[in-house]
């Protein structure tokens, strides 16, 4: 029997931003910057793979005298929660795209607890990714939504980006065993190594991540925004400054991998991936161990 698609509570439709906001945002973003976002989305789909088999099962007989069966299918719903402090379209899309790639039919992108205007790049990134359901909700509305989601008893997956978006605590979700919860453990800081002033497109980094503090090392280059600072030309100092994210040329990649969670090379300025966010977060898995008929 074909499963009916999940539908979020009807009241959230009142929280959808007006279409005119998306239209103005798209118009205000240059063709070049839209191309950057499209590149990031395309590479996320390459990384996760667009699923042709969205569900399946595996049955095995073991030499130990027992049988197993494993099944998987997309969760009924996915929610990406973020707050107004998240201004990066690429980091938001890196949490959203795997849900879409896993075949989840009903995905909600919800900005929580922010009265600030939307950043055009965030709205445009959501539109370019094909994300249809976007809402702006208060903390109280987010809690109400998750109370209703828990009460459905259906499998779901949640990704949380930004401190204010953590209004839904993992301890609250643990009472709903069919809802899985993921949150990155990343600082909002990155280091950049420049062999010369053209090694990285710093303007692209500034557009994609206005909320990250960039420390630039190596060759001195014009800095595009206030969240960039030049810290010197010592490579050892660069390595010591790595917290979670490093931008550096491919030939130096392995030296940074010993410390960084994410290393990005030239040409990847528009890209981001959360290394521990995998497709199976957005799948519901079942396992059976049996003996005989």
Q: What is the pLDDT of residues 268-291, one digit of tens each?
A: 999 999 999 999 999 998 899 999
Are 145 and 166 spatial neighbours (Cβ–Cβ below 8 Å)? no
Over residues 123-144, the pLDDT tens digits come to 999 999 999 899 999 989 998 9
3-state DSSP assignment of residue 88? coil
Each residue's pLDDT tens digit, 183-201:
998 999 999 999 999 999 9
pLDDT band for position 170 (cuts 50, 70, 90):
low
- The answer, yes or no, to whether residue 217 has pLDDT greater than 90, is yes
Over range 205-212, report the average pLDDT.
97
Q: Of 76, 141, 74, 60, nearest to 102 (Cα)?
A: 74
Angle between helices 89-101 and 31-48 (to 10 degrees): 40
* Percent of the chain predicted with pLDDT > 90: 78
How far is Cα 93 from Cα 85, in angstroms, rounded to an integer?
15
Considering only 119-123, 172-176, 220-224, 255-259, which range has the smallest mean pLDDT? 172-176
For residues 230 and 225, what is the distance between their CA atoms, to the nearest angstrom?
11
Q: Which residues contact 94 (CB under 8 A, 6 or more apart)?
A: 40, 44, 272, 273, 274, 277
Q: Which tens digits make up the pLDDT trace of 38-67? A: 999 999 999 998 666 677 888 899 998 899
Confidence of residue 166 (pLDDT cuts 50, 70, 90): low
pLDDT of residue 176: 57
**CA 45 to chain CA mean position, Å:** 12
Q: How far is CA 88 from CA 21, 197, 255, in A?
A: 18, 24, 27
Assess contact for 109 and 9: CB atoms under 8 A.
Answer: no
Per-residue pLDDT at 162 exceeds 90:
no
CA distance 207 to 125: 12
Asked whether the CA dihedral 26, 30, 34, 37 is positive or negative, the reply is negative
Question: Which residue did the predictor score with more confidence, 213 or 293?
Answer: 213
pLDDT of the residue at 35: 97
Mean pLDDT value across the chain: 91
Give me the residue label for tokens 């925004």. 225
pLDDT, average across residues 161-175: 64
Residue 280 structure tokens? 């199976």
In the predicted model, is pLDDT for residue 156 greater than 90?
yes
Cα–Cα separations (whole angstroms), residue 122 to 19, 34, 207, 232, 257: 14, 11, 11, 32, 29
> 169 pLDDT exceeds 70?
no
């Amino acid at each position: 029997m074909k499963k009916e698609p999940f539908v979020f509570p009807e009241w959230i439709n009142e929280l959808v931003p007006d279409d005119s906001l998306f239209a103005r945002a798209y118009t205000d973003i240059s063709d070049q910057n839209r191309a950057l976002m499209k590149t990031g989305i395309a590479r996320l789909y390459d990384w996760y793979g667009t699923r042709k088999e969205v569900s399946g099962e595996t049955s095995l007989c073991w030499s130990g005298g027992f049988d197993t069966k494993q099944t998987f299918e997309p969760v009924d719903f996915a929610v990406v929660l973020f707050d107004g402090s998240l201004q990066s379209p690429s980091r938001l899309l890196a949490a959203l795209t795997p849900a879409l790639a896993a075949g989840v039919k009903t995905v909600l992108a919800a900005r929580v607890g922010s009265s600030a205007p939307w950043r055009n790049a965030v709205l445009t990134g959501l539109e370019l990714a094909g994300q249809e359901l976007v809402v702006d909700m208060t903390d109280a509305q987010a809690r109400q939504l998750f109370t209703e989601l828990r009460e459905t008893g259906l499998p779901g997956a949640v990704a949380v980006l930004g401190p204010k978006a953590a209004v839904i605590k993992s301890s609250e979700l643990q009472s709903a065993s069919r809802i899985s919860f993921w949150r990155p453990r990343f600082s909002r800081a990155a280091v950049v190594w420049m062999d010369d002033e053209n090694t990285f497109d710093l303007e692209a980094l500034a557009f994609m991540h206005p909320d990250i503090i960039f420390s630039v090392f190596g060759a001195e280059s014009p800095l595009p925004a206030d969240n960039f600072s030049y810290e010197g030309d010592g490579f050892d100092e660069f390595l010591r400054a790595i917290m979670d994210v490093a931008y550096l040329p491919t030939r130096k990649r392995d030296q940074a991998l010993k410390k960084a969670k994410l290393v990005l090379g030239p040409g990847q300025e528009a890209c981001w991936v959360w290394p521990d966010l995998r497709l199976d977060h957005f799948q519901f898995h079942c396992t059976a161990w049996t003996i005989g008929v």
